[in-house]
Structure 1
């Protein structure tokens, strides 16, 4: 989000220099690569790690439920995102101005919105670090025995099945 805020700040400075009413700005689309790279890589790591956590740390009978919980956390994130956009739009446009999320992005302050998202992401990182330090995995000898039994029955290791 910080990369998106910086890219938007650059785009706004070009838009103001050329005139805000123009539809095409003389900047390269490659300005967007860093933010898409960071967001895409972050989602790839988060989704695979979260799904792996839900599948490996849940009891055998709860695997389907944990997958559903994983998808529920994604959908709740989308709802919270929509709610945040609505709140920011109402609060910042309350004075009768364009607000951060204007209909014409050349008149809005999308860089402020991305900055807000960067701050919220840092707070989220702090909460995650606290939870990660607090979490202590249980050494479940029965789970290891089940894994050994599945290996014996199937004739292949768990790594070969992945």
Structure 2
């Protein structure tokens, strides 16, 4: 991937900064523009529920970081979409936990988000290890890899996960919404 901007070469690890910038910008847009617009369009009724906002963030975070001969600037949009999804997802997740957890567990809400992210990293490492052991998709030489198969597997897993989320969100009954 060409990471040059003129004569400056952007370090590969710095590309994720565009995701963080998108989180900051998206949080401001959501708080100052989208939520007031939502309230105006719905006649002042309540804002989207935390589960609805988590769903938007869940759908927006589909972020396959593929490698290609394109300039690295093309990764800014996928990272920005991922960041915008995080801006919907994580604050709504903390809101849901604070709102729905019993009083004795409310202090664990922000820790739950970090724990879930950490669990996701461990599971992704386990998935890559399982794929390496069971298939020839990820050899040591990435030029001989079948990365498209891994991304199809990830797409199927993301679709199953999102379908499961939609089913759980549909069946969930709020206990403390609006209190």
**Count of equivalent residues:** 119
1:136 partner SS: coil
Q: Is the 8 A contact 2:62 2:82 kept in 1?
A: no
Aligned residue number for residue 28 of structure 1: 71
Q: Decide which of 112, 116, 129 is 1:69's aligned counterpart.
A: 112
> What is the TM-score with the length of structure 2 in the denominator?
0.56
Aligned residue number for residue 51 of structure 1: 94
1:4 partner SS: coil
Q: CA deviation at 1:81?
A: 0.8
Superposed CA RMSD in Å reads: 2.6
Correspondence 1:32-111 to 2 at 5 A: 32-93=75-136, 100-111=137-148
Aligned residue number for residue 64 of structure 2: 4
Aligned residue number for residue 128 of structure 1: 165
CA shift digits 1:65-112 (9 cap, x unpaired): 33333322222111111100100111112xxxxxx2233322212222
2:141 partner SS: coil
Q: Is the 8 A contact 1:4 1:111 kept in 2?
A: no
Q: Unpaired segments of 5 or more residues in structure 1?
A: 12-24, 94-99, 145-162
Q: Unpaired segments of 5 or more residues in structure 2?
A: 1-60
> What is the TM-score with the length of structure 1 in the denominator?
0.61
Q: CA deviation at 1:52?
A: 1.4
Q: CA deviation at 1:118?
A: 1.3
Aligned residue number for residue 28 of structure 2: none
How far apart in 2 are the matches of 1:53 and 1:3?
24
